[in-house]
Structure 1
Amino acid sequence: MYDRIRLLRGSVFAVSFVLAITATLGTGSPAFALSELKQIPGQVQEQPERDSAPTAQTPPPEEAEPGEGEQLQLPLPDPLIRRDAGEEAVTEPAEDKAVTEPEPPVEVLYDITKAPEPVQRMRELIVEAAASGDIERLRSLLGKGPTQTQVSIVEGTDDPVTTLKGLSGDPDGIEILAILLDVLATGFVKVDAGTPNETYVWPYFAEKSLDTLSPPEKVELLRIVTAGDFADMQEFGGYNFYRVGISPDGQWKFFVAGD
């Protein structure tokens, strides 16, 4: 009998305890997970006892001085040209940029007295002979043998006077004499100064770029050639009409047309 009563009381107590817990959860208090039920809200959690023996603190690592130890660095980019191990890198020399220097201006001379006296004398003799209208008067000035005046770009043994007549537009060589006078009436230049090939050359167009001619110089050139000839020369790249050359010692070296 008493056992039943105690059992009944125990059951009632258990039911009452469950109802009380349920009522508590229903009041809006936050629910706790099972892991959180280990600590009841409001209750101070006991801190675990630490070892009474003091723990030795590990000192912070000292920063390595430059050159000591390994340092974390970003990797350098790979070279554009990979070389095998053991091959020394050769520094390629910088390419030399060709610098085009402007050509020195050509000194054009009009005063014949600035040329040596033998040059002055030979020019005067040529002018006198050409102005006479008789091409035979050039023969004594053209020379013979090794000193014979070059009158054609093609080497030959023909008589120079005969060659000049053949280059003229008339059978008597009058046209070639007129061209000779016009050429010697222009300014002149000295080429290959200080060398065995030093020569005084008429007209100066033979040694000057046609692209640099001033308007007055173009007028002077068109007194010798036609406008069509001038256009052809510009396309060719230079003056290619007749020119005269006299050496410092007075030798008449050439009277030729062409390059």
Structure 2
Amino acid sequence: MHRFFDRIRLLRGGVFAVSLSLTITGTLGLTSPAFALSELQQVPGQNTEDKVSEPPADDGTATETVPDEGARRLQLPMPDPLIRKDAAEQEATEPETGKAVTEPETPVEVIYDIDKAPQPVRRMRELIVEAAASGDIERLRPLLGKGATQTQVSVADGDEDPVITLKGLSGDPDGIEILAILLDVLATGFVKVDAGTPNEMYVWPYFTAKSLDNLSPPEKVELLRIVTAGDFADMQEFGSYNFYRVGIAPDGQWKFFVAGD
């Protein structure tokens, strides 16, 4: 009798275990369906019908990877492929661009050795220096010539006596100041201009042929022995030397002694 009840208990226990197993398996099958790997990675709340964004088309930009939280990617523009001209090339732009081309100044040969001038030129300069140093302006008269060969002493054409004209240009009635200016001008270096032409001439001072903006310190000292600092500033604004100058032709004719440009 006891064996009979023991057997019944064993049967019930086996049935209960089987039933419990089936119940657990059924429950898990209803509440925990299988997920694909892609579905497991889906962010909660994301619409599963949204298409995955395609990578941007290659538009010539470089992508730089920045190692910062989630390896975010920054889009940086590529360098400008155009080759830009440097400042020197831009200064030499062709005329059709409308930009002026800066030309370097032509070198000027400044002569200090009077022996490099022709003998007639040397002789006339010597005579002018002797007359001016005497303090008597009348001693210039035979050197100034007459008629077609008369020395130009004024920018305005006229038949006035050249000695009288020079006295009128001087700051004193005797013409002493103009003689002093004449000596100072002839004491500087000189230049040869218009070489090989009918207008070839030896001109004092050499500042007439140089840019005042490019004068060296010693050259500025030479210039300020002739003019004042205020005169120099005015000349720079004017654009060139415009004080007195002397011109002697290769044949020794004294061509001019004038102020102005």
Q: Shorter chain as normaliser: what TM range?
A: 0.5 to 0.7
Map 1:3-18; keep pairs closer than 5 Å. Answer: none
Map 1:190-229; keep pairs closer than 5 Å. Answer: 190-229=192-231
**Percent of pairs with identical residues:** 87
2:96 match = 95
Q: 1:103 & 1:210 partners in 2: Cα distance?
A: 11
Q: Does 1:189 align with 2:191?
A: yes
Equivalent residue for 2:232, pick from 230, 234, 249: 230
Deviation, 1:102, is: 1.3
Structure having the higher helix fraction is: 2
How big is each residue's C-alpha offset from its partner over 1:173-221, in whole Å with a ceiling of 9 and x where there is no partner?
Answer: 0000000000000000000000000010000001110001000000000
Unmatched 5+ stretches in structure 1: 1-93
Unmatched 5+ stretches in structure 2: 1-94
Equivalent residue for 1:247, pick from 246, 249, 253: 249
Moved over 2 A (4+): 94-101
Q: 2:189 & 2:218 partners in 1: Cα distance?
A: 12
Deviation, 1:234, is: 0.5
Structure 2 SS opposite 1:95: helix
CA RMSD of aligned residues (A): 1.5
The structure that has the greater radius of gyration is: 1
Q: 1:229 & 1:184 partners in 2: Cα distance?
A: 19
1:138 match = 140
Code of the residue aligned with 1:247 in structure 2: it is: A
Q: 2:105 & 2:124 partners in 1: Cα distance?
A: 31
Q: 2:100 & 2:193 partners in 1: Cα distance?
A: 26
Map 1:1-259; keep pairs closer than 5 Å. Answer: 95=96, 99-259=101-261
Q: Which TM-score applies when normalising by structure 1?
A: 0.63
Count of aligned pairs: 167
Code of the residue aligned with 2:96 in structure 1: it is: E
Q: Which TM-score applies when normalising by structure 2?
A: 0.62
Deviation, 1:103, is: 2.3
Q: 1:248 & 1:240 partners in 2: Cα distance?
A: 23
Q: 1:127 & 1:170 partners in 2: Cα distance?
A: 20
How big is each residue's C-alpha offset from its partner over 1:151-188, in whole Å with a ceiling of 9 and x where there is no partner?
Answer: 00011100000000000000000000000000000000
Code of the residue aligned with 1:238 in structure 2: it is: S
Deviation, 1:104, is: 1.3
Deviation, 1:99, is: 4.0
Deviation, 1:98, is: 5.8
Q: 2:160 & 2:219 partners in 1: Cα distance?
A: 36
How big is each residue's C-alpha offset from its partner over 1:110-143, in whole Å with a ceiling of 9 and x where there is no partner?
Answer: 0000000000000000000000000000000000
1:64 match = none
Q: Which has the higher contact order (CA 8 A, sep 6+)?
A: 1
Structure 1 SS opposite 2:235: helix
How big is each residue's C-alpha offset from its partner over 1:62-104, in whole Å with a ceiling of 9 and x where there is no partner?
Answer: xxxxxxxxxxxxxxxxxxxxxxxxxxxxxxxx93776443121
